[in-house]
Amino acid sequence: MSEHKEEMLNRLERDLRNLEKVKKIYLKEPFNRIGAMTYFGDLYERIGLDFIVGAEDITEGRKVFYKSMVNWIWVYEHYNKNQDVCRFPNEINSESYRRMYFAVISGNWTIATKIAEFYFEFQKLDEEPMEPYSVELCNVIKYLILDRDEECMSALEKLESLSATDRHYKKMVEGQAIAVRGLLTKDEVLFNKGLLQVFKNHEAKVKREGNGIYGYFCYDGVALAMIGMRRGFNITIEHEKLKPEYLEKSDIDYSQIVIDKEIYITEEEFVNNKWGWCD
């Protein structure tokens, strides 16, 4: 067994134990359930990665990503209904691009479009502003998922402008920008060129910063490949982190996935209680 697979299997076991432990804690303290929804959204993302990389089970990973997205949709829906009384944590907004990619990888296009529709640029004065590249990258992915190509191209041009003048931004988004331009211009060669660059950039980042939680799985590359296939593009590149099973169509009955409904709270509870989001 490879070192990283053993590491991810150990983490899967630990994360599953932690999931059940935290569920019990939150059920005893109902006023913390809004925290549970955000916590479980993040934890399910990690568990999904554990299944894909450690257990090499892409189907189970997709199911867990789906559960994560159900949690986040609940958070988005309740926040959208109560913007006048609640502050939306900046970190949730700034991580939306990753969440949209995970929604795509879940294999359920309905939930991917719903997550994309909920992405919004809302910042209160007391929140740290999102980095410009994060805003435009989120917009690019949102419009790409929603097949709103003209708006996607407009956001892409802004993203390309940012990356042209900043080396850090270029490393972050260059491959994704090339791949998306290929999709929008129906240029399969350009799309695959950008896709390969995404995987190469991921590899370079791992060498610079270590594997971390996302080091073993290039989620942006896998998601873009899935979007490309949905648009009728052939994937002509090869890379060790783009396994054939990642791109196989999932035969999942999403209606049978058990969702943690017991931790949801009512809208009245959401508005009237204090979670640090509402004043």
Indicate the pLDDT class of residue 27, thresholds 50, 70 and 90.
low
Structure tokens at 157: 């041009």
| Total H helices, total E strands in the chain | 12, 0
Tell the residue number behind the tokens 């299997």, with chain if given: 9
Residues 6+ apart with CB under 8 A from 57: 51
Q: What is the pLDDT averaged over residues 67-76?
A: 84
Of 52 and 89, the structure prediction assigns the larger pLDDT to 52
Tell the residue number behind the tokens 């998922």, with chain if given: 145
Residue 48 has pLDDT above 60, yes or no: yes
How many degrees, rounded to 5, is the angle at CA 203 between CA 161 and CA 42?
A: 80
The predicted-structure confidence for 2-24, as pLDDT tens digits, reads as follows: 556 777 788 888 888 888 887 77
Q: How far is CA 161 from the centre of its chain?
A: 24
Average pLDDT across the chain, whole number: 81
The pLDDT of residue 275 is: 43
For the chain, give the percent of residues with pLDDT over 70: 75
d(CA 263, CA 261): 5
> Among the listed ranges 45-49, 166-170, 191-195, which one has the minimum average pLDDT value?
166-170
Residue 170 has pLDDT above 80, yes or no: no
Structure tokens at 260: 């943690």
Which H or E element spans position 143? helix 132-145
Rounded to two decimals, the pTM is: 0.86
The predicted-structure confidence for 217-249, as pLDDT tens digits, reads as follows: 999 999 999 999 999 999 999 999 999 999 988
Residues 6+ apart with CB under 8 A from 9: 50, 54, 55
The pLDDT of residue 277 is: 43
Residue 86 has pLDDT above 80, yes or no: no
The pLDDT of residue 126 is: 40
